[in-house]
Amino acid sequence: MIRSILCLIFLLPIAIMAQQNTKAQGAIIEEYATNCAQKHPLYSNEWQECLDAGLKKDSTIAYLWQQKAMPLFKQRKYELGMSFIDRAVQYDRNEYQDYRAFIKCIFSKQYQEAINDFTDCKNRYGNRFVMDHNYDFYISLCLLQLNRFAEAEILLKQYVNDMSKKGEEWVHATALFYYGVAVMEQKRYDEAIGIFDRALKNYAEFSDVKYYKAMCYFYSGKKDEASDWYKQAQADFKNGYTINEDNVVYETYPYQVLWGK
């Protein structure tokens, strides 16, 4: 009993200090991010200057480092942005390590480094979600880009199966797209076509799916079917239908078809 009381007496001041520090950092964020940086255009010098002023007050605020990095990634200034997101991870790994892994996977194309970050996150926190998908989904994209197709297939199949437990309508079309690609790359064309068909049930105008479905028919020797699906893919792309992930406006995703580029 006495030991418990002494422990409480020891821990209470620490908890109070932590609460005070959180409150102080919140005030800095409000002053220099919310009421300063975010009043200016995202890519402006003023955005960075406001955040720099906040970091002069407290250089351990991870959110300010992340806010410095974010517009740089969207401008494809990866090396500079990564130096800032590394600082965010340094001060708040739980919040920003998976974000850094996502950036390495989709933006800067550092696939093995992204796998390393996501794997560490999985070991620490489990297979959580970032940017609408779980860690294994992004690991699988990296594996596809490293031509490790069988490994990618295993992760994507599990991800799809987990979603399908709620019903086929809950399965993300993008996940089915990459699952089909992983199977296609292993020359199992009929199986890949079946997976692509599942994707099209949830996103009927998905031009990238139709393109690779056409490729499956082509490599299977079915030239007429290939031509038909190729034309459908081209038409849907012209109407603006492609991978519908939020960040596709900034970066090309793996296996995304860029017609005429």
pLDDT at 19 over 70: no
CB 121 within 8 A of CB 113: no
Phi, psi of 41 (to 5 degrees): -60, 145
Q: Which pLDDT does position 21 carry in this prediction? A: 75
- Count the helix, strand and coil residues of the chain and give each as a percent rounded to the nearest 5: 75, 0, 25
Q: How many domains does the chain have?
A: 1
Q: Which pLDDT does position 1 carry in this prediction? A: 58
pLDDT higher for 110 or 260?
Answer: 110
Closest CA to 133 of 226, 6, 2, 247: 247
Q: pLDDT > 90: what percent of the chain? A: 90
CB 79 within 8 A of CB 113: no
First to last CA, the chain: 73
> Quick one: tokens of 110?
């550092």
Quick check: is 7 in a domain? no
Residue 47 domain boundaries: 23-91
pLDDT at 234 over 60: yes
Q: Which pLDDT does position 5 carry in this prediction? A: 52
Quick check: is 225 in a domain? no
pLDDT at 197 over 90: yes
Quick check: is 53 in a domain? yes
Q: How far, rounded to the nearest angstrom, does the alpha carbon of residue 58 sit from its chain's CA centroid?
A: 29
pLDDT at 261 over 80: no
pLDDT higher for 192 or 16?
Answer: 192
Q: Which pLDDT does position 17 carry in this prediction? A: 47
CB 121 within 8 A of CB 109: no
pLDDT at 157 over 60: yes
130: helix, strand or coil:
strand
Give the tens place of pLDDT for each residue, 69-83: 999 999 999 999 999
Quick check: is 67 in a domain? yes
pLDDT at 23 over 50: yes
- Please tell me the least confidently modeled range out of 9-13, 34-38, 91-95, 142-146: 9-13
Q: Which pLDDT does position 204 carry in this prediction? A: 98
Q: How far, rounded to the nearest angstrom, does the alpha carbon of residue 182 sit from its chain's CA centroid?
A: 18
Give the tens place of pLDDT for each residue, 91-147: 999 999 999 999 999 999 999 999 999 999 999 999 999 999 999 999 999 999 999
CB 153 within 8 A of CB 179: yes
Quick check: is 58 in a domain? yes
Q: pLDDT > 70: what percent of the chain? A: 92
Quick check: is 178 in a domain? no
Quick check: is 250 in a domain? no
User: Which amino acid is located at 42 in the chain?
Assistant: L
Q: How confident is the model at residue 11 (pLDDT cuts 50, 70, 90)?
A: low
Q: Which pLDDT does position 14 carry in this prediction? A: 44
Q: Which pLDDT does position 15 carry in this prediction? A: 47
Name the average pLDDT for the chain: 94
In degrees to the nearest 10, what's the CA dihedral of 116, 122, 124, 130? 100
Quick check: is 223 in a domain? no
pLDDT at 27 over 60: yes
